[in-house]
Amino acid sequence: MMRATLVWFRQDLRVEDNAALVAAARRGAPVIPVYIWSPGEQGDWAPGAAARWWLHHSLGQLDASLRRLGSRLIIGRGRALKVLRGLVRRTGADTIAWNRRYQPAAATRDAETRAGLERDGLAVKVFESALLFDPADIRTRQGGPLRVFTPFWRACLAQPAPAEPTSAPGRLASPSTWPESLAVDELGLLPSHDWTEGLAAAWTPGELDARAELNRFLDEGLASYELDRDRPSLMGTSRLSPYLCWGELGPRQVWHAVREWAIDADDERIAHNAEVFLRELGWREFSYHLLHHFPSTVQEPLRPEFACFPWRQDARALRAWQHGRTGYPLVDAGMRELWATGWMHNRVRMVVASFLVKHLLLPWQQGACWFWDTLVDADLANNTMGWQWSAGCGADAAPYFRIFNPVTQSERYDPDGVYLRRWLPELDALPGKAIHRPWETGIRTYPKPVVDHAEARGRALAAFRTMNRSSPGGA
């Protein structure tokens, strides 16, 4: 019998369209699926509280999927190289397979782990399963990385189309004896004080529910995607982000499902909406492209002139923003949705991020850290790009003078206040349009605005001009 293959799962917690798992199954040797909890090796960006809740449940679902294939998930804890070497000794495996990751610390760890295993004489097979296009293949004519989305996406679409997704193996060969495994409860991923009831009500982690959510979007959301995606009161977005983040659904599965749905529908409206949605999937690709080529942007601005931006430090204002007590209904509704469900509508994410960095002049890194701890879809590439875009210091960034007015944004995208009333019950009694400007009603159960919009906008623009004067070559 051939010696076993270890398949090291990370953020690819699925059995369908999993390149490493498929390759291991095709060897015909026993396959030993492995997950290693090693947050100490992931630097300052170990999974946050909401992400750990998701991971706990996703690992249970992955084990169930593997058991349907005659296999199971082996869970270890500690330094990855040490755990893998221990499993090699106990199982006699001669091959280790995994799918590539792009987070800076994870990429460094993978390179070190691969080198150590190959020094031991083991075969290491690395596959691509997280992206549609390899970041190294998308370049400018001069060979450098792209920093603007439109030419980036144009270059992606000039590449060969993403390969068709692969089916799950029919069955996985098992070793004669399974190595010992930790139970998922032993990882201590769930919070000691349970605030996760809202997460459980909003989400069911796992590959089966990922597929169900994709089917719901195709059936109910794709046809009106362009019109509805900016309305936070509607189910107008795909809500696939946490499933993509944890790899319970692969981007190739989404790409081909949307394309095939549009072709089968034979409807110009659906075809148009499909292209609009796939372009949004392209933004995910762009975020990984940026993280791959500019790994320091996790903490530092891509545009160097922002290193001298005069950010404020204001713990009281930060707490008001975090807890949804700024006095601006759309900002507060979004932050309360985030705390309750681990997710926030994308239009609202842009508004709350703009408010933090431009109305309050608080560093974008503080917002990125809060999102990282509270989002079930906390993806380092997306989170970094989104916050740098909002702050005006990243690639393809919104100009700093584009400052979202949270009142006009809610009036435009939640005109009847349906979303606001859902998350701000203390404003439910306000009539009609008054909900967008509660300070004008004399209501006492809701905080007054922490800052005046016009004054905040003027302060932000003044800070931006100061930065321009102090930067090299500034006026």
Calculate the alpha carbon distances from 246 to 138, 181, 197, 226, 347 in Å: 24, 21, 20, 26, 22
User: Which amino acid, one-letter code, is at 161?
Assistant: A
Contacts of 135 (CB under 8 A, 6+ apart): 102, 145, 288, 289, 292, 293
Length of the chain: 475
Question: What amino acid positions are annotated as catalytic residues?
Answer: 280, 283, 311, 346, 364, 387
What's the token pair of residue 31? 């396959």
Between helix 329-341 and helix 364-374 the angle, nearest 10°, is: 40
Reduced DSSP (H G I as helix, E B as strand, rest coil) percent helix, strand, coil of the chain, to 5: 55, 5, 40
Give 361-386 as a DSSP string: ---HHHHHHHHHHH-TT--HHHHHHH
Q: Buried (b) or exposed (e) across 269-293, using 16+ Cβ within 10 A?
A: ebeebbeebbeebbbbbbbbbbbbb
What's the token pair of residue 19? 């390149």
